[in-house]
Structure 1
Amino acid sequence: MLLESSQKTTIQRVVSGAIANLAMSNMNQVLMSKGGAQLLANLASKSNDPQTLRMVVGAIANLCGNHKLLIEDDGIKALLGMKVNLGQ
């Protein structure tokens, strides 16, 4: 997948933003079933770019209606990890 294989911050940021936009539509459950939340959690743990992390937070926020994201797919862990990555 493009997001996992790319080392370029711009690509990671744009793809995270696209996932955030799709998460607001009927695609929400499709994203969840295809591992979108886990993908975002993985990206959050690896990225140090504030803009990319902002996009990831937006995507996670848009998916938060689904408790599976928060508990099983490490959504909360991803959000907590971002604070550490940003050194705040």
Structure 2
Amino acid sequence: MAIAEKIRQFSEKSSWIRKMFEEGTVMKQKYGADQVYDFSLGNPDVPPPAAFGEALLRVCQHEQPGVHGYMANSGYPFVRDAIA
């Protein structure tokens, strides 16, 4: 099966995020995993605070329609108002 040229190019290039992740792996091998902290998006290697788990549980138990959906790119109006 042929692969689209654009997809082929994507597979040959590495994003800066991927490069940082790979550098972290090298640093863990060099300095020890206990000396390198990975706070990259979706890949933290430390446990979340207890308050996070409690908040997540509250959100998961919320039955309001749409509460588990995506927000608009501009954000939630109530948050924007609070920040403004």
TM-score for both structures, normalised by structure 2: 0.25
- Larger relative contact order, structure 1 or 2 (CA cutoff 8 Å, min sep 6): 1
Greater CA radius of gyration, 1 or 2? 2
Which protein is richer in helix relative to its size? Answer: 1
